[in-house]
Structure 1
Amino acid sequence: MSGRRALHFVFKIGDRPTTITFFKDVLGMKILRHEEFEEGCKAACNGPYDGKWSKTMVGYGPEDNHFVCELTYNYGLSSYKLGNDFLGLTIKSSQVLLNAESQNWPIHDRDNSPFVEAPGGYRFYIQDEPQPTDTDPVQKVSLASSDKVHSLKYWSELLGLKVYSQSEKQALLGYADDQAKLELQFIGQNVDHAKAFGRIAFSCPSVQLKLIESEIKAVGGTILTPFVSLDTPGKATVEVVILADPDGHEICFVGDEGFRELSRMDPEADRLLSEAMAADHSDEWFSKKGKSKAEA
Structure 2
Amino acid sequence: MSFRMLHWVHKIGNYSKSKQFYEKELNMVEQRHESFDAGCEAACNGRYNLSWTKTMIGYGPEDLHFVLELTANHGIKSYKLGNDFREIVIHHDKAAESKQTIVDPNGYTYVLVNRERDLEESERNSFEHDQVQYISLHTKNLEKQIQFYTQVLGMQVFKRGENRALLGFAQDQAKIEFVQLSESEELIHGEAFGRLAISSKVDIKEMHQKVLKAKEEEVFVSTGISIVKEPIVLPTPGKADVEVVIISDCDGYEICLAEETGFLALALGK
- On whether the aligned pair clears a TM of 0.5, the verdict is yes
Q: Please state if 1:61 is matched with 2:60.
A: yes
Q: How does 1:228-267 map to 2 (within 5 A)?
A: 228-264=232-268
Kindly provide the amino acid, as one letter, of the partner of residue 243 in structure 2. E
**Matched positions, count:** 251
Judged with a 3 Å threshold, the aligned counterparts in structure 2 of structure 1 residues 139 and 239 are, in CA distance, closer, same or farther, namely same
* CA distance in 1: counterparts of 2:135 and 2:127, whole angstroms: 20
Cα pair 2:6 2:199 within 8 Å, conserved? yes
Aligned twin of 2:144: 150
1:46 to partner: Cα distance: 0.5
- In the alignment, is residue 208 of structure 1 matched against residue 203 of structure 2? yes
Normalised by the length of structure 1, the TM-score is 0.81
Q: What is the one-letter code of the residue matched to 2:107?
A: G
- Greater C-alpha radius of gyration: 1
Residues 52 and 75 in structure 1, CA contact (< 8 A), matched pair in contact too: yes
Specify the alignment match of 1:43 in structure 2: 42
Distance (whole Å) between structure 2 residues aligned to residue 36 and residue 49 of structure 1: 14
Amino acid at match of 1:18: K
1:118 match = 104
Mapped to 1, the partners of 2:136 and 2:150 lie a distance apart of 16
Give the drift of 1:134: 4.0
List runs of 5+ in structure 2 lacking aligned partners: 117-125, 216-224
How far apart, in 1, do the equivalents of 2:22 and 2:5 lie?
Answer: 20
- Secondary structure of the equivalent of 1:78? coil
Cα distance between partner residues in 2 of 1:264 and 1:27: 23
CA distance in 2, matches of 1:194, 1:180: 25
How much does 1:200 deviate?
Answer: 0.6
1:73 partner amino acid: A
Question: Is 1:194 the counterpart of 2:190 in the alignment?
Answer: yes
Task: Find the counterpart in structure 2 of residue 25 from structure 1.
Answer: 24
Cα contact 1:32–1:265 (8 A) shared by 2: no
Give the TM-score normalised by the residue count of structure 2.
Answer: 0.88
TM-aligned CA deviation for residue 208 of structure 1: 2.5
For 1:166-177, what aligned pairs fall within 5 Å after superposition?
Answer: 166-177=160-171
CA distance in 1, matches of 2:149, 2:75: 35
Query: CA contact under 8 A between 1:94 and 1:129: conserved in structure 2?
Result: no
Structure 1 residue 135, shift from structure 2 partner: 2.8
Tell me the residue number matched to 2:74. Answer: 75
- Higher RCO, 1 vs 2 (CA within 8 Å, ≥6 residues apart): 1
CA contact (8 A) 2:240 2:269 kept: no
Larger mean Cα displacement after TM superposition, 161-170 or 4-13: 161-170
Separation in structure 2 between the aligned mates of residue 160 and residue 193 of structure 1, nearest angstrom = 25
The CA distance in 2 between the partners of 1:117 and 1:24, in whole Å, is 14
Q: Which residue of 2 aligns with 1:102?
A: none
State the distance in 1 between where 2:267 and 2:162 align. Answer: 38
How many angstroms does 1:210 deviate by? 1.1
Which residue number in structure 2 is paired with residue 90 of structure 1?
89
Distance 1:129 1:166, change over 3 A: closer
Q: 1:228 to 1:28 in 2, by over 3 A?
A: same
